[in-house]
Amino acid sequence: MLVLIGILIIIAGFLLRFNPLLVIMASALATGLAAGLDVTAIIAAFGKAFNDTRYVSIVWIVLPVIGLLEAYGLQQHARTLIGRIRGATLGKLLGAYLLIRQAMAAAGLTSVAGHPQTVRPLVAPMAEAAAEAANPDLSEDQREEVKAFSAATDNVGLFFGEDIFLAIGSILLMKGLLEGYGYVLEPLEFAVWAIPTAIAAFLIHGFRLHRLERRMARRPGGQEAGA
């Protein structure tokens, strides 16, 4: 049971709002020592894990590209584009993005979109422009809520869409865990049962987006814009 001390360190570290990277490293170090590993073996395990997942560093190549695009007016162009599309309301825009994100995640394309490369430079500015079209007097709190819902839409689409993909890590983990207890299930069976959950998530979040659109159309005093 002593090797579970790493979980307690993670919980305590996050509750105390310490640096997440330091918390994870401290947890891994404590778990390794509790399991009887020496410091050299633990550092070697860190190095192997980094080497095996070194493709993660590709994100550092993407970020400067996004920064340059934003510097040359990518967000402004996105806002202008959405302003020219008739009927592009806040709810419809984020609902369409939710559907696309879920569909791509279900096909295994989980890295095609995301917060840094899609939500921040494109989806959030377009959503804000759509909200402004319905209510030019958006407050700062309303703008922040639109940005938050843009990010949440990406999260919902990815989380409930990826479980439909057969080769996703969560499905393979559940398959291996159940096989250890004598229950042999195919990945397809997990994926099929994830479909109703994904549909429910789409409908529930779509309803939340509809309510968001109606809230954003109200002026700070509660009056509908244009009234």
| pLDDT surpassing 50 at residue 227 | no
- pLDDT per position as a tens digit, 89-102: 889 999 999 999 99
Question: Could you read off the pLDDT of 36-63 as tens digits, one per residue?
Answer: 888 888 888 777 766 665 545 555 566 6
Q: How does 32-56 read in b/e, with b if 16+ C-beta sit within 10 Å? A: bbeeeeeeeebeeeeeeeeeeeeee
Q: How far apart are CA 169 and CA 1, in angstroms?
A: 26
Per-residue pLDDT tens for 188-208? 888 888 899 999 999 999 999
Write down the H helix ranges in 72-116.
Answer: 74-84, 90-106
| pLDDT, tens only, 124-153 | 888 988 888 888 888 899 999 999 999 999
Whether the CB-CB separation of 157 and 101 falls below 8 Å is answered with yes
Tokens of 180: 């250890």
Q: Among 21, 17, 43, which Cα is nearest to 32's?
A: 43
